[in-house]
Structure 1
Amino acid sequence: MEPFVLATEHVRLSVPTYADVDAITAACQDPAVAEWTVVPVPYERRHAEGFVRHHVAEGWAKGAVYTWAVRAPGDADGPLIGMVGLTCEGGPGEERAGELGYWMAADVRGGGLCTEAARLVVDWALDPDGLGLSVVSWVAYVGNWASRRVAWRLGFRLEATLRRHALQRGVRRDAWVGTVLPDDPREPNEPWPADAPGTRVRPGVS
């Protein structure tokens, strides 16, 4: 599939290019990105180059991984402020599924842009005129409350907390797993869990 743009008045999603390599490298120096994602540590410029050359380009070409750079609206070549990706599985004649992932640069977190960007991707993924997926899942290491907040706002239902479910640089970590189906409302379906008495909220990377 050829890359395409998704946009609202607040965010613009377009394919990452070599012009974004320095911005990706800089963003991935953030300790929070290292803590909550699977990026290499230490993260070097060559990792960003390989990400753009292989993960992004080959993912789009094969229709298996769709990756967008999140930018401010306007110029398609505007500065990268985050990333949203969708990894898909399933072949012809099968119901297909996808897994959503996202991160934002430290200086733009907390303003709702990650939620808006991720919503564009979820809506396209589940729309019959888009990918027409049967389900989109979300997986985050336990403690990544910022990521969970975005998923909660998008209507993901927390299905389980799975022990040693997600692999990060050779170590298995406990993970939250949620799903959203095509007919689910794209809004919170339960009270925000961090409001529970005694809950301690730690920062994440959304």
Structure 2
Amino acid sequence: MPPFVLRSPEVLLSVPTPADIDRIAVVCTDPAIAEWTTVPSPYTRADAETFVTGMVVDGWARETMFTWAVRAPGRPDGTVLGMMAIGLIPGGPGDAHAGEIGFWTAPDARGRGLTTAAGRLAADWALDPSGLALERLQWRGFEGNWASRRVAWKLGFRYEGLLRRHGVRNGTVCDDWIASLLPEDPREASEPWPQEAPTS
């Protein structure tokens, strides 16, 4: 499947290109991205190059991982403000009819609703019969990643529980949260926002 653009009045999604490598390399050194995602840490320019020219290209070619750079509306080659991906889950219900959403946001783009807008575009495409036609789209986050969980909540993902010792965070086994979105679910928060644990 050749890469394509998704757009709304709030945001534009287009495939990251070699011109984005330096920006991605800088953004992915952010401590929050290192703490809450699975990107390599410490992150180098070589990691960004491998991601853009290898993982992204291969994912689209194999139709197993669909990755977009999040940009402001307008130019498909604008500054990278985040990353959004839909990956297929092997052995999911109905054969390749389950997927997972993943994302990160650059520090200078947080708090503007861009990730939620980008997630809505990607989720709608993944669940639409004319898109991937998935029967289930899931979100997972390391326990304690309230920023990511809030995005999933705004998109209508329904919290399903805690996966004990399911994730690996900075080389340490940890618990994951999991939530799901089905084609018939409303694309808006449909359950109360959980009480965040106090920070020490």
- TM-score tier by shorter-chain length is over 0.9
Deviations 1:15-35 (A, max 9, x none): 000000011001011100000
- After superposing the two structures, state which structure 1 stretch, 122-131 or 95-104, moved more: 95-104
Q: Unaligned 5+ residue runs, structure 2?
A: none
| SS of equivalent residue, structure 1 residue 68 | strand
TM-score by length of 1: 0.92
Deviations 1:27-67 (A, max 9, x none): 01110000000111110000000001111000000000000
1:74 aligns with 2:74: yes
Aligned partner of 1:200 in structure 2 is 198
Query: How far has the Cα of 1:107 moved from its partner?
Result: 1.2
Q: CA RMSD in A?
A: 1.6
Contact kept in structure 2, 1:145 and 1:201, CA below 8 Å: no
Aligned partner of 2:83 in structure 1 is 83
Partners of 1:95 and 1:40 lie apart in 2 by 27
Identity %: 54
Query: How far has the Cα of 1:89 moved from its partner?
Result: 2.9
Deviations 1:144-179 (A, max 9, x none): 101000000111011011211112343211110000
Partners of 1:99 and 1:22 lie apart in 2 by 27
Contact kept in structure 2, 1:143 and 1:201, CA below 8 Å: no
Contact kept in structure 2, 1:82 and 1:102, CA below 8 Å: yes
Aligned partner of 2:19 in structure 1 is 19
Aligned partner of 1:124 in structure 2 is 125
Query: How far has the Cα of 1:180 moved from its partner?
Result: 0.6
Q: Spell out the pairing of 1:175-190 with structure 2 (5 A cutoff).
A: 175-190=176-191
Aligned partner of 2:34 in structure 1 is 34
Ranges of 4+ aligned residues in structure 1 off by more than 3 Å: none
Partners of 1:104 and 1:11 lie apart in 2 by 13
- The letter of the residue matching 2:173 is R
Deviations 1:100-146 (A, max 9, x none): 00111011111111000000000000000110001000000011101
Contact kept in structure 2, 1:95 and 1:134, CA below 8 Å: no
Contact kept in structure 2, 1:155 and 1:186, CA below 8 Å: yes
1:48 aligns with 2:48: yes
Query: How far has the Cα of 1:95 moved from its partner?
Result: 5.3
| SS of equivalent residue, structure 2 residue 195 | helix
Partners of 2:112 and 2:49 lie apart in 1 by 28
Partners of 2:130 and 2:90 lie apart in 1 by 17
| SS of equivalent residue, structure 2 residue 164 | strand
| SS of equivalent residue, structure 2 residue 148 | helix
Aligned partner of 1:162 in structure 2 is 163
- After superposing the two structures, state which structure 1 stretch, 103-112 or 13-22, moved more: 103-112
CA gap 1:71/1:22 in 2 versus in 1, 3 angstroms: same
TM-score by length of 2: 0.94
